[in-house]
Amino acid sequence: MEPFCHFQHLDIRKCWPTSDKDFVRYAAQVTPRGRPGAVAPGTLPHASPRLVSVYELGSPNLRPEVGVGPHGVLQVCLLSMAFFQGCRDREIRDSRIPLDHHAQRLFDCPKRPLLIEALADALLKYEGDCCKITQHLQRQPADKQQALEVVIQACYVYVTLHRRRSLASTPVLTPEHYKLAMGIRTLALKNQLFIAMRAAFTKYGPDPRKHPMVSVDHSIAVILCHLSIEEGTDFKRIVERLRKRFKDEERREMRQ
């Protein structure tokens, strides 16, 4: 079954149900937050439909018989992932253990619907934040867009690299500086997403005394990998990357 909608910064193809039967099963579990017109305020910025396809999901382009909005689409994707497979509706499976392994580790999760909502909220915010980078330029006359883009990017590059101590004493901004700054911005958004997902598991997930953080981070790595936010298929390495990025950002904030 092909996805009937797409996001700009979240690739849902790898986690979309492969059959109509699976889709219907997951769609039946979508919470009211995931129904059309019920997206949480502030989750998505106002933007031109041509900029980000996710904003078109509330339009007639969405199949009327499905009854899910953008939030619901992401809930369906989350429900298809490993840690929600092979368990009951109020449980989470330890995704570090292969699904076909005879010994599984299941955790009670009474607030699982709220966990799924919070994870979808975090993903929609990430999508919106990524789109905001260029959104304001769409509203400017063409002759102003180019000038504003140059000034805004130059300011951002200088401030970002100055904080990172990546500039010479008398800097001249080069294309490499711009590339480095844009990469830093993307990593910052990814780190914010990681923090938000950890917070979702802490608030709505299984009892942390029974559900170890290493299992939480592995589940987050599964989500980010399947949505093509993180590269690679070695979840252990992805977890290490996420944790390192988180600690590096903490150290930088303490120095400022």
Residue 116 lies in a domain: yes
- pLDDT tens digits, one per residue of 60-103: 344 444 567 889 999 999 999 999 999 999 999 999 999 999 88
Q: How far apart are CA 221 and CA 204, in angstroms?
A: 18
Residue 1 lies in a domain: no
What lies within 8 Å, CB to CB, of 79 at 6+ separation is: 26, 29, 116
What is the DSSP secondary-structure string of 84-116?
GSSS-TTEEE-TTS-TT-SS--EEE-TTHHHHH
- This prediction has a pTM of 0.75
Residue 182 lies in a domain: yes
- pLDDT tens digits, one per residue of 24-57: 899 889 988 887 766 454 444 333 333 233 333 3
Mean pLDDT over all residues of the chain?
78
Residue 4 lies in a domain: no
Q: CA dihedral in degrees (132, 134, 140, 141; nearest 10)?
A: -160
Phi and psi torsions of 139, nearest 5°:
-95, -5
Q: How far apart are CA 123 and CA 187, in angstroms?
A: 15
Model confidence at 155, pLDDT cuts 50, 70, 90, reads low
In this predicted structure, the answer to whether residue 158 has a pLDDT above a threshold of 80 is no
What is residue 37's predicted lDDT score, i.e. its pLDDT?
63
Tell me how many domains the chain contains: 1
Model confidence at 124, pLDDT cuts 50, 70, 90, reads very high
Residue 95 lies in a domain: yes
Please name the amino acid found at residue 65: E
Q: Which domain holds residue 152?
A: 13-255
